[in-house]
Amino acid sequence: MLDFYRLRPSNPKDDVLSGITVALALVPEAVAFAFVAGVSPIIGLYSAFFIGLISAIFGGRPGMISGATGAMAVVIVTLVAEYGLEYLFPTVILCGVIQILVGLGRLGKLIRMVPHSVMLGFVNGLAIVIMLAQFGSFQTIGSDGLLRLIDGWSLVIMVGLVGLTMAIIWLLPKLTTAIPASLMAIITVTLLAVGLNSWAPASLASEGQTNVVATVKDMLVTQSQAAAVRAADTETEDFVAQALASVDIDAVGIAAGLPGLFFLEHVLPPLTWATLMTILPFAVILAGVGLIESLMTMTLIDEITETRGRGNRECIGQGLANITCGLFGGMGGCAMIGQSLINVNSGGRGRTSGITAAVCLLLFVLFLAPWIEMIPMAALVGVMFMVVIGTFEWATLRMWQRMPATDMLVMVLVAGYTVIMHDLATAVLLGVVVSALAFAWQHATHIFADIKSNEHGSKIYQLHGPLFFASVRSFLDMFDAAKDPEDVVIDFYYTRVYDQSGLEAINSIAERYERAGKRLHLTHLSAECRQLLARAGDLVEVNVSEDPQYHVATDRIA
């Protein structure tokens, strides 16, 4: 990873300035995800505020930014389309309750089960997804209702401003760190864009665009028009024209009043068992997706800052945030990796940065909407491109011949699934499952036995390696009850029995020797193995006192 995220101590000035920078980048993201979810942009903005504020205060990872995310939006869109907006309120609240229960159950530590290869694939896939998402800002909607790329001088100026933004972010830290480079880049490019839009002749503007430089306002208009065309559900030119005309461009924006409690302004669905069964699957999926993304983001920020977050507290913080968000009719959310990296890059390390970002976002909605809408998309795209450069693990391009083949496969699989499906949570689960299967396969043949005899004529099998479901066959093939002597010892000093499959294998061996009329002894069983055997019943009686000379247990298989 490029060294854009230098280690620096947390201080209030950096936290506040980085919070402002993040808030500027949150606006288009929250609006875009609201369109994905099929809800009003204001719902997305208020969701980002509530999620960001509560998780910053109560979460377990200072400096991590949360808000409305695309991963949860793709789940919500199905709920809203099938059952209506009124079902969103209880679903998000139930999602928060489930997340709190996960935190209280101390299940956040399960993030330790994610292998490093999965983490690499997750980070690289995410970087590619963020990069591809930025190209949507190079599009506009034509008179036919179809999205198309901008061209002409608008494209030239857009590319130039993106390049200028990236250059400022790269060069400014070499001169001073008094102000976050991302914030300075946004301010500089915004002033330049305002000047260009004021003085550029109309002939430079592309068809369908008001400004030479596309702004957040233009993005809102484009998103609204595209949503209207989709709602028309027709390719007839007349209907497309009507859909485009139905969008009140002057009314499109991010300005709104204070949010109110959802149940005071809307009719709620009936609070019945049927409603619970309807929303429960959606709530479980939302809770799982949100926690996986949040905990993975926490792990990434931990690695960058060389500090350690608290996974269980983060689960509780995310749950409280979603409950609060649901009470105000929000769409829920979780940690946002791109904005978290912007925050870390800008010097944000403490909770103040997340709180500042959330409060500034609310101020934008209440008082500063006209000014925020003037920010050029080129500036925000440039910031995100630098996030991509800093996020992608470039070292993986050189280590592919040095990594084990299975780890490389898992990394490519996770990254590819993330890019193709845009589903980070499922990609992580898929990577963990494949890694676990590869681990089991590799260790299936790692069990073997050193065979020797003692002066009493007993044949001793000294086992090495794990005994579990994948190694059972290799374990069973070691023994030949017909040819072995009358007294056989299985020494478990260098092995462990991990599951019921291992116990069943021991039982099968015991039955073999019993049918052959021979005695079988077990020795040096671990405490965990004794506990498993005790739960299994009278299969094996273990004597703790063992013969230190001959390693022969005195009790037999019953």
Q: What is the pLDDT of residues 62-101, one digit of tens each?
A: 999 999 887 788 788 888 888 888 899 899 999 999 999 9
Q: Which domain holds residue 297?
A: 12-395
The pLDDT, as a whole number, for residue 540 is 45
* Residue 289 covered by a domain: yes
Confidence band of 553 (pLDDT split at 50, 70, 90): very low
Q: Are residues 347 and 461 in the same domain?
A: no
* Residue 409 covered by a domain: no
Q: Are residues 88 and 160 in the same domain?
A: yes
Mind giving me the DSSP string for 152-172? HHHHHHHHHHHHHHHHHHHHH
Q: Are residues 385 and 474 in the same domain?
A: no
Q: Are residues 47 and 112 in the same domain?
A: yes
The pLDDT, as a whole number, for residue 51 is 96
d(CA 40, CA 238): 25
* Residue 529 covered by a domain: yes
Domain final residue, candidates 395, 414, 434: 395
Written as one letter, the residue type at 286 is L
| Least confident span in 199-203, 328-332, 359-363, 510-514 | 199-203
> 550, exposed or middle or buried, with CB in 10 Å at 0-12, 13-18, 19+?
middle
Q: Are residues 122 and 183 in the same domain?
A: yes
Residue 282 backbone zone (phi > 0: left; psi -120 to 50: alpha; other: beta): alpha
* Residue 329 covered by a domain: yes
Q: Can you name the residues that pair with 495 across neighbouring β-strands?
A: 465
- What is the domain-level CATH number for residue 462? 3.30.750.24
Confidence band of 267 (pLDDT split at 50, 70, 90): confident
**Secondary structure of 515-526 in the HEC alphabet?**
HCCCEEEEECCC
Residue 376 per-residue DSSP state: B
* Residue 500 covered by a domain: yes
| DSSP reduced 3-state for 98 | helix
The pLDDT, as a whole number, for residue 457 is 83
Q: Are residues 492 and 376 in the same domain?
A: no
Question: Which residues, at least 6 apart from 482, have a Cβ–Cβ distance to it below 8 Å?
Answer: 516
* Residue 459 covered by a domain: yes
Task: Identify whether the C-beta of residue 158 lies closer than 8 Å to the C-beta of residue 193.
Answer: no
Q: Are residues 169 and 306 in the same domain?
A: yes
Q: Are residues 185 and 254 in the same domain?
A: yes
Q: How many domains does the chain have?
A: 2
* Residue 322 covered by a domain: yes
Number of H helices, E strands in the chain: 21, 8
Task: State percent of the chain over pLDDT 90.
Answer: 32
Q: Are residues 471 and 344 in the same domain?
A: no
Please provide the average confidence, as pLDDT, over all residues in the chain.
83
Model confidence, pTM:
0.77
Assigned token pair, 402: 């040095």
d(CA 120, CA 394): 10
Q: What is the pLDDT of residues 114-142, one digit of tens each?
A: 888 998 898 898 889 888 888 888 887 77
Task: Identify whether the C-beta of residue 31 lies closer than 8 Å to the C-beta of residue 371.
Answer: no
The pLDDT, as a whole number, for residue 506 is 85
* Residue 22 covered by a domain: yes
Residue 138 per-residue DSSP state: G
Reply yes or no on whether the pLDDT at 210 is more than 60. no
Q: Are residues 363 and 497 in the same domain?
A: no
